[in-house]
Amino acid sequence: MTMLPKPRPGAKKLGLVVDLDTCVGCHACAVNCKEWNTGGQAGILPDYDKYGANPDGVWFNRIHSYETEGEGCSRTVNVPRSCMHCEDALCVTVCPTGASYKRAEDGIVLIDTDICIGCKLCSWACPYGARELDEVEGVMRKCTLCVDRIYDEKLPPAEREPACVATCPSRARHFGDLADPQSKVSRLVAERGGVDLLAELGFRPTNKYLPPRRATIPAEPPKARTSGGFGAALLGLLDRALSR
């Protein structure tokens, strides 16, 4: 059913919090996502022209790098982009078949690929470009928030998190319940001023992004060189030569 679920009191809002301050743009999250979702018995993320000149394929997570300027500094910002599991998920309501749905209990947006007709309308409705067509099966694919990991009781509790979060070497990705103000992710968002991407479009994404912090390490002012005779002059010369 592609009507959005009515908000339930106490329902979870599972999602990701991505720290743009510490993301180093290494693509490990995208690679581990691809590996997890394409491995096993039912690999679902096809690749086309794998070893050819134009390799292409379906990925749930794409990492962009940008140069930014403002607030008195310029910097590189790496932005992982995947499904935001929006509260006003237009991709769900436009679906003509009921294949695209949002779960009432935890807000995860999923696709029932057994009934998807591959009309692509949901991909047009998503402002984040988070849905990609599987051109082999003719159905749409998207991030599942690793629904097959986070509820898997055979996994040790510490591993019950999305593959992208588990693998992030700079701990820039966090997973949790954003409906609970006391959860680790909610506190992070509150402390760091987490934001919605494309907030003005009004899709109310669940995933939040922590903006890059301003560089606050003050540079020490250069010390005035004191004349200290031959020894100091020699040391000064050495210092200049070595710090070139």
Partner 1 sequence: MRPDASILLLTTSTGFGYGLLAWLGVEAALGVMPAGRMRTLVAAGLAVSLVLVSIGLAASAFHLGRKERAWRAFSQWRSSWLSREGVASVLTYPVAIAFGIIAWRHGEGVWTRVLGVAALGASLGTVYCTAMIYASLKPIRQWHNAHTAPDYLLYALFSGALLLAVIHTVVLGAPGALASAAAAAAAALALVAKRAYWRHIDSQKPLATLAAAIGLPKGNEARPLDAPHFTENFILREMGFVIARRHTAKLRPLVIAIGFASPLVLSVLAGLAVAPMTTTMLALVCAALGLLTERWLFFAEATHVSALYYGRPI
List the interface residues with partner 1, window 123-162 (CB under 8 A).
123-129, 132-135, 137-140
Least separation in angstroms between residue 215's CB and partner 1 is 14
Give the Å distances, CA to CA, from 189 to 146, 170, 204, 232: 22, 17, 15, 52
Q: Which DSSP symbol is given to 112?
A: -
Least separation in angstroms between residue 88's CB and partner 1 is 9
> Counting contacts by CB under 8 A, is residue 5 touching partner 1?
no
Least separation in angstroms between residue 66's CB and partner 1 is 5
Q: Which of residues 51-90 bind partner 1 (CB under 8 A)?
A: 54-59, 62-71, 76-77, 79, 81, 90
Q: Which is nearer to partner 1, 170 or 236 (CB)?
A: 170
> Counting contacts by CB under 8 A, is residue 99 touching partner 1?
yes
Q: Which is nearer to partner 1, 12 or 125 (CB)?
A: 125
Question: Are the C-beta atoms of 24 and 170 separated by less than 8 Å?
Answer: yes
Q: Which one of residues 190, 198, 234, 238 is an interface residue with partner 1 (CB under 8 A)?
A: 198
Residue 151 φ/ψ region, left for φ over 0, alpha for ψ in the -120 to 50 degree band, beta for the rest: alpha
Q: Which is nearer to partner 1, 60 or 150 (CB)?
A: 60
> Counting contacts by CB under 8 A, is residue 33 touching partner 1?
no
Whole-angstrom Cα distance, residue 139 to residue 115? Answer: 9
How far, in whole angstroms, is CA 5 from its chain's centroid?
Answer: 24
Question: Are the C-beta atoms of 32 and 166 separated by less than 8 Å?
Answer: yes
Q: Which is nearer to partner 1, 1 or 242 (CB)?
A: 1
Output Rg (C-alpha) for the chain, integer angstroms.
23
CA angle 79, 81, 83 (to 5 degrees): 150
Contacts of 94 (CB under 8 A, 6+ apart): 2, 100, 121, 122, 124, 125
> Counting contacts by CB under 8 A, is residue 12 touching partner 1?
no
Q: Which is nearer to partner 1, 14 or 92 (CB)?
A: 92
Question: Are the C-beta atoms of 98 and 125 separated by less than 8 Å?
Answer: no
Least separation in angstroms between residue 86's CB and partner 1 is 11
Structure tokens at 155: 């996994």
Q: Which is nearer to partner 1, 120 or 184 (CB)?
A: 120
Least separation in angstroms between residue 76's CB and partner 1 is 6
Q: Which is nearer to partner 1, 54 or 243 (CB)?
A: 54
Of 157-165, 175-183, 207-215, 222-230, the window that binds partner 1 (rule: CB under 8 A) is 207-215
